[in-house]
Chain A
């Protein structure tokens, strides 16, 4: 690796700044989904976040254009999720998706729009981390309902419906939202930053 491909201090600071913005957008998405569907907000949170934060991702990848930027963004996001009281597996999900997204983006040297879009979609799946505790919780609230003397068959029916349905809804919603958000982001970066000569 020559000097040009290594992350410099200014790069690291840019990553920090954009990750902070990304984090704020995710926080907004959490708030919005929490207001719309309390209790199940985690299912749609990744999709809403993917929808609004495309421009941050596209600007970061256009500005730094080196391997590591997206990985570090995922890692730091995971760290902040963890420290702010989210489930520890969200840390792992963020790192894995960050690295995969980075490799995909590297394959076109951070230049081809379509591939960047794919990489953004993969990165967005990192946000499913906070959804994972639902698996652990499901048993808990089923047990809780049984304890309270509710009919088991009835509970099963409700949950089989909710589980597979929401799972696919979550996956598909992220895909659609990430593509729309990514396209919007690319358009914005072209309109505001490429013309101004910043990237």
Chain B
């Protein structure tokens, strides 16, 4: 079990974007993807890591073995889907890792460290806090609708898209409005509006492992650049 610093995760995300920018060759990409998957395993999310790895290497297999046998339009479409999916996946893997292994506290602490203004941090906090509420509200709204015989059953929402949009989104917005009010009151009571430096519950610091990992993930890029010259 090991856990990386939030800023290291951000660094990994940047690297994964760099993969797209630099149009690296497939060898480098495969190695990098493996490096992105490792922290996942290190955190103990084996199932997630395996699923993403399956997707990525599955794409490569299709690319290598199925594509030569296709002709015409089919080849173009398959190649488009496979290649675009494969190129997005390193970013998605790095993102999924950053997203699913960082707590709100760590995230906020890291954002404060890199001096993101408070007016951006607060909405971010609220969003993360609000997602579970949306899911809960949605379930209640669906129950209430079903009770009145509206849109009960799975595909029923799609039959009247405009009506569903109104009946589901409006209560969500209404409730969101109330939650915003409640959250404001409770967080102002806890002193979020105070000026001065705010401290965090969770303290985070860069460890040796973070530095090592940053260097290791940089290596394939250097090798790639070196091979090009």
Contacts and interface: CB of A to CB of B under 8 A. Distances in A.
Given A12-B123, A76-B124, A85 B93 contact: yes
Main secondary structure of the interface of B (DSSP, over half): helix
Contacts of B144: none
Interface in A151-199: 154-155, 158, 184, 188, 192-193, 198
Nearest to B90: A85
A73 B193 CA distance: 20
Interface string B98-130: 110000000000000000000110111111001
B219 interface: no
A141 B91 CA distance: 18
Contacts of A25: 169
Interface residues of A, number: 59
Interface stretch (B68-76, B203-211, B221-229): B68-76
B199 interface: no
B214 interface: no
Residue among A17, A79, A150, A158 with the highest chain B CB neighbour number at 10 A: A17
A53 B216 CA distance: 42
A10 B178 CA distance: 11
B174 A192 contact: yes
Given A16-B125, A184-B165, 15 more contacts: A13-B183, A17-B177, A20-B134, A21-B172, A23-B127, A24-B131, A55-B170, A56-B169, A76-B123, A76-B124, A79-B124, A85-B94, A133-B88, A136-B87, A154-B72
15 contacts: A12-B119, A12-B123, A20-B130, A24-B131, A52-B169, A55-B170, A82-B13, A83-B99, A84-B96, A87-B17, A133-B84, A133-B87, A158-B73, A192-B170, A198-B177
